[in-house]
Structure 1
Amino acid sequence: MERYAHISKDFRTQTLDEHLRGTAELSAKFAAVAGMERLAKILSKQHDAGKNSHGWQCYLKKSSGFDTSIPDAECDKGSHSDAGAVYMLKNFPKPLNLLLAYVIAGHHAGLPDFYGSGHGKGLLERFFDDGERLKTELLDAAGEYANMPLPEWCTPYELTRFYKEYTKEYIHMWGRFLFSCLVDADWLDTERFMKPEDFAARREPMGLDELKRRFDVYIESKRRSAPDSRVNRIRNKILERCIEAGGIAPGFFSLTVPTGGGKTLSSLAFALVHALAHGKRRIIIAEPYTSIIEQIAKVLKYGTDDEEEIKQMKERGECLFGEENVLEHHSSVDPDKELYTNRLAAQNWDAPIVVTTNVQLFESLLAASPARCRKLHNIADSIIILDEAQKIPAEHLSAVLSSLKALVKHFGVTVLLCTATQPALNGEIGGGSAIVEGIEECTEIIPDTAGLYDSLKRVEYRVYKDDITKKASWEEIAGELSKKSQVLCIVNKRKDCRELAKLMPKGTIQLSGFMCGEEISELISEIKRRLKLGDDVRVISTQLIEAGVDVDFPSVWRALAQLDSIAQAAGRSNREGRLEKGEIVIFNPESEPFGEIKIGAQVTTTFVSRPGFFAELSPKSFYRYFRKFYGDMHSLDKSRYTELLVKEAAEGRIQFREFAEGFKLVDTSGQKTVFVPYGENGKLGPELIERLRAEGPSRELMASLQRFTVNIPERLLNEIYAKGGIEDVHGYYVLNKIFYKPGEGIITDSLYNYDKDNFIY
């Protein structure tokens, strides 16, 4: 009797053999980049072996409508991945058998744990009786697949070689890579049969050689049109140095360039040259904030982030890389403005240039779910530009650095750490029991970083009232800011932003996480417009504007925080060097920071208190600051990376799911997401919310609504809910419009009672 893997809505059938062969071909192709194509092929040929059972075949035929006469008693959906996992456990030596079993067992439900926990059954419970006897009866469902002989190459030596070259620190990443190859191949082969129109729409990515040609034309045009200023001459030197460094052998690189030094385009120039010199497949740019991503993605797509210029360039067909070659993957992407092919590419990052968030990158690298892990094999043989590298949360340094080192050592990845304030990531990092092994070798692209800093100094730092230990009231700061026609003030918390903005003159713009992404983007565009015209513009913001957003104020005020944050804030002043010196004022607000900001502010205070500190600010200053900052952290491994993924990995005992559930690069515990009715015309918040109410959730609708979300403390949500300000719409929280005020965001009388309030991500 013919066995089927899939039956389409129009009753076309794909046999099980066809699906296993198709998946094996794709998976082997994906795994070849790391030399694991033979193992990938074996995994693929066993991954759906459980579908061979009579009960599962009956279930498929009846549930698809292919044969509705089958009695329910004969149908058994069961777990069709168990048989393949047991095949691996039975036929391969330890611990390789466990590592392969994880891959097949998790290809639908997600990578499991070795030990059972609150996150599901472990391998021991699932496939062994009393933790010892293998449940070989689970192979019965596979029929002839259970007796599939191993290929001749499967000698003890070869099988041991596959994982022996990996230290125990990286074994889990080895398993994730194979998991990614299997999942993407499985889903693509299924799509090829079930949704051939989607499969056909997936295009072959444009080659990086063509993108390099376009980039060269763009840069030459930009150079010709740029004024011959001192700042632009320095930017050109940085660009040339990055192009020269592109030929250096792959590995870790750092690009330490002061703010306003043109590192976005220079880092891309390095990546394009490096990719062509060493056969890399794609460039992945990771940013800490979505506000930065939107700006950078526009520059990469069109060559500018100015909306009017973008409109003109699209009309003339003169875009830089074009929308089809730059994939934005973050929560604020509007699917209505996104190419359909890019929405498909977002599933597995099959695009030449990917712009994403640190959260998306690292939580995918260390995920357990098939959907998130699917893209991992496309990270191999790529270049990762980790922009604003200092924004990696210190409490997760252990997991992040280990993952990056694994990618560089075993998966052909080059990592570029790109920032004006380079963190100290070499040698032993931390202190006491919180020690992390840093990066052994990292090539700095700029040979004289100290000299570069001196040549690009365009601002003058000063401490408010010359005493960083003296507290300043919001009324005091508001009075100073109100005297200036163009000024930016950056504070640490959302409620600080609200309090200070209330004391400012009418027309002051505030930016904070109490606003949805759509409004934040619109306000940043308005700020740029006013600055360009020379109009008055006063802005009170959380740190969402601090790094990477190209605004240029004559005066910037910064609440006491981490030293790198102060330097990043300085990058929003006198960027183009039009003034003799921009002004940076650091003040100590009455409002206390918390978490990493508090530790960083304490370290900063000790440095800033030294006479002449800012006059001598240099890359060495930041190195010393980060050494002290990491040393003062209580933990650099909050998610228990070593305990759950490394400690027993050599024996194959890995807690994939438990770790993934606990690893959140940005801590949103105690926070709830609400949809807000911002906007009045077109497909904005109110209309999308009405669609949710009428139609229920869909993937496309929920993606569109992401631009209209705000995260708030759960206690605040409960309070607004009690006042009738929030309703439950198909399981999602929707805010009443009277609780959202354009220009301020979410409003409620007791907003200020929530002291431990996240700043912004």
Structure 2
Amino acid sequence: MYYSHRSEDGRIELLKDHLREVSEMSAEFASAFGAESWGRAVGLLHDVGKYSDEFQNRLLNNGPKVDHSTAGAWLLAESGRDLLSYCIAGHHGGLPDGVPGQESCRSGFVERMTKAQRGDIPCFTAYEKEVDFSPESLENPTIKATRESARFRFSFLARMVFSCLVDADYLCTERFMADDSRDRLRSDGISHLNRRLEAKIAPFFPPKTKINEARCGVLEDCLRASQSDRGVYSITAPTGSGKTYALMRFALNHAEKHGMRRVICAEPYTSIIEQNADVYREALGDENILEHHANFDFSFDDESGLGRRLRLASENWEAPIVVTTNVQLFESLLSNRTSRCRKLHNIAGSVIVLDEAQMIPTKYLAVCVKCLAELVRNYGCTVVLCSATQPSLASFFEEEDFDVKEIVSDVDVLFASLRRVTYEDAGVLDDESLAGMLAESGQALCIVNSRRQAKALYEMVKSARGSDGVYHLTTLMHPDHRRRVLGEVRSRLGGGDPCVVVATSLVEAGVDLDFPTVFRAMAGIDSLVQAAGRCNREMRRPATEGRMVVFEPPSSYALPREVEQHASVARGVLMAADYAVSRLDSTETIAAYFNRLYKVQGERGLDSEGVAEMLSTYGKSTGRLKLFDIPFETAANRMKFIDDSSYSVIVPTPGYEDEIVALERGLLSRAGMRRLSRISVSVYQGDLDRLNEVGALRPITDELFLLLDASKYSQETGLDSSADSGSGLFW
């Protein structure tokens, strides 16, 4: 008898039972994209290395650790099934590189297969008595690929099959160890959700105001387009056009029409996710919306167990509607880690909505487009690009043989009907002049590119008019702090009270604020237009009274290279004869900006980390085996939307005392760590060094620090990394 797992209560699972269960579940998952045979094979062979005496000694007698993943991988590799072999080799430690480069610290796939070929792994031939497998029985999935695209598409397929295996393995093992199946979300089907949404928006018709007439027009456009074939679509609509409901109307109707499984909405910022997820929960029910990002707290007190069910669903996106971040979506699609890849097979057969599509980082644009096109081509998905400043991606999708179909029937008419601001060019404004203008304003928002400038302007405005109604918003304030300030700002705006906010770009996309005047430092044209979306948002004033003032800031503020480059491209476009600040939000100006930006970036700039290239051009290893040398781990390591050179500083805050005590004692749970992310600030090396110089921090890990000095965190401006010595201590 051979065994697979031993539970804490002493039960032992037969290995053949585990292989059968994983094989059946993995095959079911892979059937969503026509790879059922491959899913069954990797499930059946993934643990055959446990048929060794060495592993059985490990399991039953607490013997030394044993590599049990290489055995099944070798069975497939020697039969020429390299892609499936990678899946089994990585089902615990993650998909490896074929031949590891400098960025990998693990043994490579080829090295492990060479070791197996030499017989330098524990003998596992006992599997032949219990496992019936023949390589000839494998049926290849139908993957549409050309000679030029084959490498990328096959590596993508391997990752999708890997997802089926690791999710099935996890779920089956969990079920045995707990002696029970997991408590899944009690969610509704797509058809039922569609009816609920239609009932929610029915009172919007017939429209009674100009703005609602435009919104209802977008809703009708989305309903009409939803009956078309799967593919790549765009919704180009200005701020305030009701995109939140409109895109979901398209997605649910389209999913019902084509028998699709779920809707995935990817957003650039957690603030937008929280806002939209609340709207969808209210319309469609809490059990149907999975909100998945680092700041979401699944540990809320809930007698029904909904928090736990949502947390479990977040592991593999087993929910009808997922609202998540661009980071989660794209880094998962290129990940090599088991935890991140578990969800991938559930993306097949989905409507994928990219809200604020212009926020895809340009340095990853090439590989992101390739991934999206592949999901449409071979995995039954539809992609929707949604933005008021639609990036010029049509040519990129054309290279992948897809046309981008616009859903809005007349974009120019829609933008004209919802024009709510007048753009002004203020030229160069020094801080003193700008602060004077802000101090004299009743209600105004100022967005700049530098946290240092935001703080300087805030102090000047506060000095000129007093602190009442003057606010500062930057990423030096932790998320809970920013949320509290935004609540106060909305209250003052709604009550007509004086309110001046100085902020960085974190407020310019998807944050519901409505100011009569917005000042914006020169930036990319998409940023300028998005900032204008915070001006006269509800059209309570004529467009001539909604002032969007564009200015050039002093050159003394150092900016990130990307921000400066985007601003430079915008200047170049606005200097051309056919464009001007007054026409910033025209579709022609926006298209001209993105076309010039992509030209400036060039092919290398749109794949600056080389991820698309390395996954499209890998070859075969040298030596006797001649196996595919796929750089799974290296590609995953380079696919980082968020700069991982930053550090997290946790700011002690009332209400989080228990989590901080647990953190200091090394006892903090994953849920507790997620809660602490609400009171953490990201800083770079220079800020960290200055805080350490004055003894303001206590290190918890190499990347995580606890703020000790209360004077280093202001309830007005957030974390202060200046080198001045502090005084007060927290608690």
The two structures have a TM-score, normalised by structure 2, of 0.91
- Is structure 2 residue 714 aligned with structure 1 residue 741? yes
- Is structure 2 residue 155 aligned with structure 1 residue 172? yes
Residue 633 (structure 2) aligns with: 657
- Is structure 2 residue 192 aligned with structure 1 residue 210? yes
CA positional deviation for 1:245: 0.7
Distance 1:728 1:382 in 2: 42
Distance 1:360 1:160 in 2: 27
Residue 541 (structure 1) aligns with: 503
Query: Of 282, 294, 300, which residue of structure 2 is paired with 1:331?
Result: 294
Residue 728 (structure 2) aligns with: none
CA positional deviation for 1:160: 8.7
Query: Of 360, 375, 398, which residue of structure 1 is paired with 2:366?
Result: 398
Q: 1:287 to 1:428 in 2, by over 3 A?
A: closer
Q: 1:222 to 1:519 in 2, by over 3 A?
A: farther
Aligned pairs (5 A) from 1:503-582? 503-505=460-462, 506-507=467-468, 508-581=470-543, 582=546
The answer on whether the counterparts of 1:212 and 1:272 sit within 8 Å (CA) in structure 2 is yes
The answer on whether the counterparts of 1:87 and 1:146 sit within 8 Å (CA) in structure 2 is no
Residue 431 (structure 2) aligns with: 474
Corresponding letter in the other structure for 1:656: F
Q: 1:723 to 1:327 in 2, by over 3 A?
A: same
Query: Of 314, 331, 334, which residue of structure 2 is paired with 1:346?
Result: 314
Aligned pairs (5 A) from 1:685-724? 686-694=657-665, 696-724=667-695
The answer on whether the counterparts of 1:323 and 1:339 sit within 8 Å (CA) in structure 2 is no
Corresponding letter in the other structure for 1:85: A
Corresponding letter in the other structure for 1:221: P
The answer on whether the counterparts of 1:83 and 1:146 sit within 8 Å (CA) in structure 2 is no
The answer on whether the counterparts of 2:518 and 2:532 sit within 8 Å (CA) in structure 1 is yes
Residue 586 (structure 1) aligns with: 550
Deviations 1:136-170 (A, max 9, x none): 45372352249955448637xx4496686772221
CA positional deviation for 1:594: 2.7
Residue 727 of structure 1: SS of its match in structure 2? strand
- Is structure 2 residue 128 aligned with structure 1 residue 126? no
Residue 550 of structure 1: SS of its match in structure 2? coil
Query: Of 324, 328, 341, which residue of structure 2 is paired with 1:356?
Result: 324
Q: 1:475 to 1:637 in 2, by over 3 A?
A: same
Distance 1:196 1:626 in 2: 55
Corresponding letter in the other structure for 1:715: G
Residue 303 (structure 2) aligns with: none
Q: Which moved more, 1:16-25 or 1:517-526?
A: 517-526
Query: Of 145, 170, 180, which residue of structure 2 is paired with 1:187?
Result: 170
Deviations 1:306-340 (A, max 9, x none): xxxxxxxxxxxxxx222221111111112333711
The answer on whether the counterparts of 2:237 and 2:411 sit within 8 Å (CA) in structure 1 is yes
The answer on whether the counterparts of 2:520 and 2:549 sit within 8 Å (CA) in structure 1 is yes
Q: 1:687 to 1:509 in 2, by over 3 A?
A: farther
- Is structure 2 residue 144 aligned with structure 1 residue 141? no
Residue 597 (structure 1) aligns with: 563
Residue 70 (structure 1) aligns with: none
CA positional deviation for 1:372: 0.4
Distance 2:260 2:348 in 1: 9
Distance 1:519 1:34 in 2: 44
Q: Which moved more, 1:357-366 or 1:524-533?
A: 524-533
Deviations 1:202-225 (A, max 9, x none): 23542111111211121123557x
Residue 440 (structure 1) aligns with: 402
CA positional deviation for 1:496: 2.1
The answer on whether the counterparts of 2:16 and 2:131 sit within 8 Å (CA) in structure 1 is no
Aligned pairs (5 A) from 1:11-30? 11-30=10-29
The answer on whether the counterparts of 1:401 and 1:439 sit within 8 Å (CA) in structure 2 is no
Residue 42 of structure 1: SS of its match in structure 2? helix
Residue 624 (structure 2) aligns with: none
Deviations 1:551-592 (A, max 9, x none): 111111111000010000011111111101211000111134
Q: 1:519 to 1:192 in 2, by over 3 A?
A: same
Deviations 1:719-748 (A, max 9, x none): 212211100236631112332122211013
Distance 1:517 1:618 in 2: 34
Deviations 1:177-226 (A, max 9, x none): 000000000000011111245x33123542111111211121123557x8
Residue 433 (structure 1) aligns with: none
Corresponding letter in the other structure for 2:158: G
- Is structure 2 residue 580 aligned with structure 1 residue 613? yes
Residue 706 of structure 1: SS of its match in structure 2? helix
Residue 584 of structure 1: SS of its match in structure 2? strand
**Percent identical:** 37
| Number of aligned residues | 694
Deviations 1:216-251 (A, max 9, x none): 121123557x8x221111111111110111101001
CA positional deviation for 1:610: 4.8
Q: CA RMSD in A?
A: 2.2
Residue 266 of structure 2: SS of its match in structure 1? strand
Residue 307 (structure 1) aligns with: none
Deviations 1:455-476 (A, max 9, x none): 1111000011xx3xxx321121
Distance 2:359 2:75 in 1: 44
Distance 1:335 1:235 in 2: 34
Residue 168 of structure 1: SS of its match in structure 2? helix
Distance 1:365 1:192 in 2: 26
Residue 585 of structure 1: SS of its match in structure 2? strand
The two structures have a TM-score, normalised by structure 1, of 0.87
Query: Of 69, 83, 88, which residue of structure 2 is paired with 1:81?
Result: 69
Corresponding letter in the other structure for 2:454: C
Corresponding letter in the other structure for 1:734: L
Residue 715 of structure 1: SS of its match in structure 2? helix
Residue 41 (structure 1) aligns with: 40
The answer on whether the counterparts of 1:513 and 1:711 sit within 8 Å (CA) in structure 2 is yes
Q: 1:745 to 1:381 in 2, by over 3 A?
A: same
Corresponding letter in the other structure for 1:492: N
CA positional deviation for 1:633: 1.6
Residue 407 (structure 1) aligns with: 375
Distance 2:548 2:179 in 1: 58
Corresponding letter in the other structure for 2:711: I
Distance 1:6 1:512 in 2: 50
CA positional deviation for 1:603: 1.4
CA positional deviation for 1:267: 0.5
The answer on whether the counterparts of 2:423 and 2:581 sit within 8 Å (CA) in structure 1 is yes
Corresponding letter in the other structure for 2:117: L
Distance 1:146 1:80 in 2: 18
The answer on whether the counterparts of 2:38 and 2:140 sit within 8 Å (CA) in structure 1 is no
Residue 243 (structure 2) aligns with: 263
Q: 1:484 to 1:161 in 2, by over 3 A?
A: closer
CA positional deviation for 1:98: 1.6
Deviations 1:228-281 (A, max 9, x none): 221111111111110111101001000000111111110110001000000111
Q: Could you tell me which runs of 5 or more consecutive residues in structure 2 were left unpaired when the two chains were aligned.
A: 301-305, 621-626, 725-731
Residue 217 of structure 1: SS of its match in structure 2? helix
CA positional deviation for 1:437: 4.3
Distance 2:658 2:399 in 1: 51
Distance 1:145 1:327 in 2: 43
Distance 1:353 1:660 in 2: 26
Residue 347 of structure 1: SS of its match in structure 2? helix
- Is structure 2 residue 650 aligned with structure 1 residue 675? yes
CA positional deviation for 1:25: 1.2
Aligned pairs (5 A) from 1:206-285? 206-223=188-205, 228-285=208-265
The answer on whether the counterparts of 1:427 and 1:439 sit within 8 Å (CA) in structure 2 is no
The answer on whether the counterparts of 2:694 and 2:723 sit within 8 Å (CA) in structure 1 is no
Residue 449 (structure 1) aligns with: 411
The answer on whether the counterparts of 2:516 and 2:547 sit within 8 Å (CA) in structure 1 is yes
Distance 2:163 2:481 in 1: 36
